[in-house]
Amino acid sequence: MDNYLLEKLTREIKISPLNIIRENAEVIFLDKLGQSNFAGKLIFYGGTSLRLSFGSPRFSEDLDFLMTGIITENALKELLTDLSAENPGFSLKDIKQKRNTLFALVNVTHSYLKHPINIKIEISRKENGVKAEYVPLSSPCSNLAPIILTANIQSLEKLKTEAIRGRTDAKDWFDAWYIAKYLKKTFVSPVAFPFDAKEFKRELKRFLPQNKWALIDQIHVANRGVAGTVA
């Protein structure tokens, strides 16, 4: 992506260039993945899948997958090495096995940025009963449209509810709220709202276009301090 297009998208989407560069790189990786032998062995899930498959306005930093077939560390390394060779600015920074997860870190440089960005890729061996279907992914930051086996919205709803119960991350709360809206439900928080309001806003503003910041208030106001619902 050249600087002219990057600046144009920054103005149109009202988000930082860093988020645009990262998402463009994520889609390039997903397109490579969708054309590889990995395609039928992984289920795409998490915040990035929610954005690219179901239109969430929140940008994301990570690529999360569930393994449904055999994928070795060496095979993933070969795929990412090929990706780096085909795309200037991409490089494989790290790859390793972590218990039940294959972990990789891809470094992306761009002339617009002073420092490189990292894209974290995690492939878990646990399926967790997730149901999936092939979905054409879409991003305003790329003209590519990879077709990837992706967790359906009901499975994402279940996973995000579990994430809220198990950790404190503002992005999970936004995603759970968005899924409820997508399914035309009232968002029911499973636990008490754990954030300071300013901290919550500050974190989410990093990943939301400026014209979407007003959505943040709908999540935290009614939930601050108690478990409850947001209409």
Q: pLDDT tens digits, residue range 4-19?
A: 999 999 999 999 999 9
The two structure tokens encoding residue 81: 């090495």
Q: Do the bridges between strand 42-45 and strand 62-67 make them parallel or antiparallel, or are there none, so unpaired? A: antiparallel
Would you tell me how many other CB atoms lie within 10 Å of the CB of residue 166? 10
Angle of helix 3-13 versus helix 17-34 axis, rounded to 10: 110
pLDDT at 229 over 60: no
Q: Do the bridges between strand 62-67 and strand 90-98 make them parallel or antiparallel, or are there none, so unpaired? A: unpaired
Angle of helix 170-182 versus helix 153-166 axis, rounded to 10: 150
Name the β-bridge partners of 118: 107
| Residues 6 or more apart in contact with residue 223 via CB below 8 angstroms | 189, 192, 193, 230
Using a 10 angstrom Cβ sphere, with 0-12 exposed, 13-18 middle and 19 or more buried, the burial of residue 115 is exposed
d(CA 229, CA 84): 45
Start and end residues for every CATH 3.10.450.620 domain found in the chain: 1-151
At residue 227 the predicted structure's pLDDT band, cuts being 50, 70 and 90, is very low
- CA–chain centroid gap for 149, Å, is 15
pLDDT of the residue at 220: 60
- CA–chain centroid gap for 8, Å, is 23
Alpha helix segments (H runs only) across 87-152:
none
| Residues 6 or more apart in contact with residue 162 via CB below 8 angstroms | none
The half-sphere exposure of 83 on its side-chain side, counting CA atoms within 13 A, is: 27
CB 164 within 8 A of CB 189: yes
% of the chain residues with pLDDT over 70: 94
Is residue 64 within a helix (H) or strand (E), and if so which, with residue range?
A: strand 62-67
Q: What is the pTM of this model?
A: 0.92
pLDDT of the residue at 12: 97
Give me the architecture of the 1-151 domain, per CATH. Roll (3.10)
Buried/exposed code over 35-60 (b: 16+ C-beta within 10 A; e: otherwise): ebebeebbbbbbbbbbbbbbebbbbb
pLDDT of the residue at 69: 87
Highest mean pLDDT among 158-162, 188-192, 217-221: 158-162
Would you tell me how many other CB atoms lie within 10 Å of the CB of residue 75? 15
Please count the residues of the chain: 231
Is residue 118 within a helix (H) or strand (E), and if so which, with residue range?
A: strand 117-124
At residue 223 the predicted structure's pLDDT band, cuts being 50, 70 and 90, is low
Average predicted confidence (pLDDT) for the chain = 92
